[in-house]
A = this chain, B = another copy of it.
Amino acid sequence: MTLCDVGNTTFDFYRDGVREKIFIADYEIKKSDEKIFYICVNEKIASNLKNFSNWIDLKDFVDMKNYYETMGIDRIMGCEAVQNGVIIDAGSAITVDVVKNGKFSGGYITLGLHVSAKAYKELSCRLDYSYNFEIDLDKMPKNSADALTYGQLGLLYRDVMSHSLPVYLTGGDASKLSSIFKDAILDEELLFKGMKNIMKKGDLC
């Protein structure tokens, strides 16, 4: 069984537990006998993939009444992976979704680590500090690096923890955020788990 998470920069394949990431520019989509169950957030590639019958879009098997129309399919797969939890997908944006008893109960999007740090720096050279991942978020900050860290990551932490649910971390910056979300479950394959669950629901495997 081959799964693929198509993003804006890579085709991320998953075959029997083995990941293979290929840059979009380095990959040619071809007709083949290999069935590939995919999700895709890249609109240009999404319309091309529709021409290949061996590429099967898992979006078509999602019960969308649980979600909303413009919600990213990657967020939906994260939600499909857990029964109860807050799912943080930390990439260029950080998405946060809450699932209770297997049902999406809402979520939001904040700026990714790199993007927010860059925005601070561009605002003023006096805001050019690296985030302090060792920050004590139980105290209000009394230095500049902590003030910036708290202003993005502290606010995120406090909201996420207020839900009193297990926290799942995935995405490129998941390991960085795990310094802050110390009890979170770090799972780089969370979206593939969601994809497999959708396949089971749709009798695709």
Contact = CB atoms under 8 A, between A and B. Distances in A.
Contacts of A171: none
A175 interface: no
Interface residues of A, number: 45
Interface string A145-173: 01110111011101100100000000000
A108 B89 CA distance: 24
Interface string A85-115: 0000000111010100000011111111001
A61 interface: no
A156 B152 CA distance: 9
Interface stretch (A9-17, A117-125, A190-198): A117-125
B70 A151 contact: no
Interface stretch (A23-31, A46-54, A134-142, A176-184): A134-142
Contacts of A106: 139-142
Number of copies: 2
B111 A123 contact: yes
A138 to B, nearest CB: 11
B108 A111 contact: no
A59 B106 CA distance: 46
A127 interface: yes
Q: Which 10 A-B pairs have the closest CB atoms?
A: A106-B140, A110-B151, A155-B155, A108-B150, A108-B151, A70-B144, A108-B147, A109-B151, A119-B119, A109-B147
22 contacts: A68-B144, A70-B126, A70-B143, A70-B144, A93-B123, A93-B127, A98-B140, A106-B139, A107-B147, A108-B146, A108-B148, A108-B151, A109-B120, A109-B147, A109-B151, A110-B151, A111-B111, A111-B116, A111-B119, A115-B119, A115-B122, A115-B123
